[in-house]
Structure 1
Amino acid sequence: MAASLEHDDLANLFLSLGALQPPAELHGYAAGFISVGGRLEQDGWLQHCVDLLDCEAPNPEQSDALYTVYCTALLGLESGEMDLELLLPDDEFDLDQRIASLGQWCQGYLTGFAMAGKQKVDGDKSYSEELTEAISDIAAIAQVSADEGDDEEGEQDYFAVSEYVRIAAMTIFAEFNALSPNYGDEDASGRLH
C-alpha cells in the first residue's frame, strides 16, 4: 500500500504544488491525526492536504504520493513494532535545517492531534500523566530554534530529541487507541479552516 517515502522527493512535490508547509509538518500532522483515532480514506486525506498545504488539488500521481504520507504514518503507528519513523531531512542537510524540520514535525503533530481530537475526544475523559507530559513536551519541541552549531554534541542532542518525539508519538497513539478501540471505525473528515 505505502511506497517508500523520501523527504527530498516529497519536498520537490510540495514545490510543484506551491505548498506552503514542509514535508515534515504534513507527516507530523498525519501522525497526530492518527494518534487520536482519526482515520481517512484517500479522498478525505487529500482534502486535509489541500487545506493544510494551501495548494490546488493534486493530480493523481501527486495524490498517491500525498496519501503515502498518511499510509506510512498509519502503518508505523499501528504495527505494534515501534516502527514509526519521522519524515525528516537526512544527515546531508545542515543540523539547523534538521532541527527546524523536527520543530515543524511537532507543530504538524499538534495540529493533526487537535483536528482529530475535536472530532473524537470526549471532554470528560482524563488522560494519564505520561500522555499529558508527552503532549506538553512535543509542544515545547515545536518551538525549537536552531541555535546550536554543527558539532558532535548538537548531533547527539538532535538524535536524542528526535527519538524522544518518535517514542512520545507512539505512546500517545497507544493510550488513545487503547481508550476506545472504535476510534478508527468512523470517518473523521473535518476540514481545516
Structure 2
Amino acid sequence: MNSLPEPPDYSRFDQLLSSLHLQVGAAELHGVISALLCAAHTDAHVAWFEELFSELPNGDLLVKEMRRLLGQLYQITERQIGDEGLAFAPFLPSEDVPIEGRAQALSEWSQGYLFGLGMAGVTEEKLAEDGREVVADLTELTRLDYEQIESGESAEADLMELTEFVRVGALLVREELRPEEEASHEAG
C-alpha cells in the first residue's frame, strides 16, 4: 500500500503567501484547489495560479519556492481526493495554533471551497439535495464568529466535528459531481 506524501508545513506555506502579499491564505487556497479537483475541473487551477502570480517577478526566489510548494500541495490534494482510503483532509493549521486561528482557517477553507466550485461552474442545479445542503452549511461556516470562541474541551470537540463535516461534505460533493468515476471504482 502506497502512503500518500505529507503536505507542506502549513505555517511556512501561509507565511510565504503573506510575505508575497498574495490576497489568499493557505486554508482558503487549499479550499479552492479542493473544489476544483472535486468538480473535475483540473485545468482551472493553471489560469488561477497564473493570475495569483501575475504581479510578482518570475525570477524571485520566494516566488519560485511558492510555486513549487503550490504544485506540491496541488498534487498531494489530487492524490488524497482520489484515494479510496479517504485520506483527504482540509489543509489547516496544527493543533498548537489557538482555537480561534484554527476556526478562522476552517472558515476560510470553506470560503475557498465555495469560490472554487464557482470557478468550476458548479451551480445548485448540478448538485443533489445532499450537496446543496453541504454548500449551504459551508456558506454558514464562512460567517463563523471565530473571535468569540472560548478555548476548552467542548470548543475543541465542536471544531473537530466541524472539520470532519467539512472533509466529508467536500467528498460528498465530489461524489455527486463525478458519479461515473465513483461507479467505476465500485465496479473495479
Unmatched 5+ residue regions in structure 2? 183-188
Partner of 1:131: 131
> What is the CA distance between 1:43 and its match in structure 2?
4.7
- Pairing of 1:32-181 with structure 2 (within 5 A): 32-40=35-43, 43-44=46-47, 46-50=49-53, 56=56, 59-117=63-121, 126-146=126-146, 147-178=148-179
Instruction: Let me know the Cα RMSD of the aligned residues.
Output: 2.6
What SS is found at the alignment partner of 1:117? coil
Flag the 1:57–1:63 CA change in 2: closer, same or farther, 3 A. Answer: farther
Flag the 1:42–1:60 CA change in 2: closer, same or farther, 3 A. Answer: farther
Flag the 1:96–1:41 CA change in 2: closer, same or farther, 3 A. Answer: closer
Report the residue type matching 1:98 in the other structure.
R
1:139-171 C-alpha deviation (Å, 9 max, x unpaired) = 111111111200110000000000000000011
Q: Relative contact order (C-alpha < 8 Å, sep 6+): which is higher?
A: 1
User: Given the two structures, how large is their TM-score scaled by the length of structure 1?
Assistant: 0.80
What SS is found at the alignment partner of 2:178? helix
Contact map agreement 2:44 2:120 (CA 8 A) in 1: no
Contact map agreement 1:35 1:173 (CA 8 A) in 2: yes
What count of residue pairs does the alignment treat as equivalent?
174
Flag the 1:41–1:21 CA change in 2: closer, same or farther, 3 A. Answer: closer
Identity of aligned residues (%): 21
Partner of 1:191: none
Unmatched 5+ residue regions in structure 1? 182-193
User: Given the two structures, how large is their TM-score scaled by the length of structure 2?
Assistant: 0.82
> What is the CA distance between 1:99 and its match in structure 2?
0.5
Report the residue type matching 1:141 in the other structure.
L
